[in-house]
């Protein structure tokens, strides 16, 4: 792999340093420390060239289709959620309005077009040493037991969805429970009543976010007629990646690094100069800042040391925190375990995954994209 200096990257992309740092933090441009001078960073020449190519004008249809896979144009229709003008809209309602008082159960009803109270909560004990392990084990078991989604009525699928959501919450909590989902999760995490309401807000804010990687995986599985549990397992497997659901964990580690530093501003500058991919900052869909992060952080009122660390990164990167940084700040402010970020994100997103799985089944279409072959051809 070829590497280029910052000046070359900036010249090719015609952007400011803060924008280049943002590309690194989003995983769009890889960076590493210069072996000759660890204080300087080098940047992937191929990543810079690819980004430069995306800034061209008109492209061929195949190029447009390829670009749509990575923050490009929409590739399918959905009535569930969208981001417009910096606002996250779910079923025609602003997520900020929903976050004020809604519970995750309310979000499930809205996302699934479900009326009335959910059915009786099942009690099944999941095995595993961690929330993530129990969640995977529970869904894997259900994949082998549940009926395919193909040909089943919307009412039957919604009943499955409620059952999966409750089983999933129990698996994350580590024991069967009763009551509202945010209260059950808060108890398992050791949060007080005030913390439980912050967790409620976070669950609502993270419930769905249009066609993200895990949701796309869910819809692909659903398009084949797989059981809803299999669709959810596809989503959870994708969420487990370090660039998706594990991003709050990386943001948490960097937040801890800043909190423990004697000079927070200096440490932030060092992290950026070193070429660290800063997790939890900026979002391509929110050029003016992630509205979910702003809402959660405003309600949270982070502790002074945490707020100071967030301000330092915002000042040095020129970007605003996204939901990953907000989840990290919430976890530390409420004194939760590191596992809390994944549990909260996964439980919230489960409601959205199930909504997308059911919507995909309603279309009756198999998602089957094509690949542009770049390999060798047989000799003539």
Question: So which residues are the catalytic ones?
Answer: 283, 324
Computed on alpha carbons and rounded to an integer, the radius of gyration of the chain in Å comes to 22
* CA proximity to 228, closest of 132, 368, 350, 322: 350
Return the axis-axis angle of helices 323-333 and 340-363, rounded to nearest 10°: 140
Length of the chain: 380
Strand partners for 90: 81, 93
Angle between helix axes 104-112 and 193-205 (nearest 10 degrees) is 20
- Using CA atoms, how far residue 117 sits from 98, 155, 227, 347, in Å, is 18, 13, 23, 19
- For residues 103 and 180, the answer to whether their CB atoms sit within 8 Å is yes
Residues 6+ apart with CB under 8 A from 155: none
d(CA 262, CA 274): 18
Q: Which of 209, 256, 234 is nearest to 367 (CA)?
A: 234
Distance CA 251, CA 110 (A): 30
Do 319 and 284 contact (CB within 8 A), yes or no? no
Integer Cα distance of 326 and 324 in angstroms? 5
| Spatial distance between the Cα atoms of 220 and 214, rounded to a whole number of angstroms | 10
Distance, in Å, from the CA atom of 275 to the CA atom of 365, rounded to the nearest integer, reads 43
Residue 3 phi/psi, 5° resolution? -125, 145
């Amino acid at each position: 792999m070829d590497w280029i200096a910052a000046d070359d990257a900036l010249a090719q992309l015609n952007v400011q340093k803060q924008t280049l740092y943002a590309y690194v933090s989003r995983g769009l441009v890889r960076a590493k420390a210069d072996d000759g001078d660890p204080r300087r960073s080098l940047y992937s020449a191929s990543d810079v060239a690819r980004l430069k190519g995306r800034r061209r004008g008109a492209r061929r249809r195949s190029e447009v289709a390829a670009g749509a896979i990575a923050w490009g144009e929409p590739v399918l229709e959905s009535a569930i959620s969208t981001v417009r003008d910096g606002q996250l809209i779910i079923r025609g309602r602003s997520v900020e309005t929903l976050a004020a008082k809604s519970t995750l159960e309310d979000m499930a009803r809205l996302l699934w077009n479900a009326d009335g109270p959910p059915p009786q909560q099942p009690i099944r004990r999941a095995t595993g040493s961690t929330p993530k392990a129990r969640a995977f084990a529970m869904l894997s078991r259900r994949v082998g037991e549940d009926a395919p989604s193909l040909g089943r009525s919307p009412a039957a699928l919604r009943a499955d969805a409620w059952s999966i959501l409750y089983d999933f919450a129990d698996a994350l909590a580590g024991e069967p429970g009763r009551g509202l989902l945010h209260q059950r999760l808060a108890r398992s995490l050791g949060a007080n009543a005030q913390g439980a309401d912050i967790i409620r807000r976070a669950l609502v804010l993270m419930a769905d976010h249009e066609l993200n990687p895990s949701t796309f995986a869910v819809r692909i599985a659903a398009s084949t007629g797989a059981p809803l549990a299999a669709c959810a397992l596809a989503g959870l497997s994708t969420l487990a990646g370090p660039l998706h659901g594990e991003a709050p964990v990386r943001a948490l580690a960097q937040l801890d690094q800043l909190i423990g530093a004697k000079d927070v501003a200096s440490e932030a500058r060092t992290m950026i100069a070193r070429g660290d991919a800063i997790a939890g900052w900026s979002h391509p869909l929110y050029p003016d800042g992630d509205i979910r992060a702003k809402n959660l952080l405003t309600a949270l009122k982070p502790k002074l040391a945490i707020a100071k660390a967030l301000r330092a990164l915002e000042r040095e990167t020129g970007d605003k925190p996204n939901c990953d940084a907000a989840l990290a700040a919430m976890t530390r402010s409420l004194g939760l375990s590191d596992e809390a970020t994944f549990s909260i994100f996964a439980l919230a997103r489960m409601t959205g995954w199930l909504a997308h799985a059911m919507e995909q089944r309603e279309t009756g279409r198999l998602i089957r994209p094509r690949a542009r072959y770049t390999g060798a051809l047989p000799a003539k």
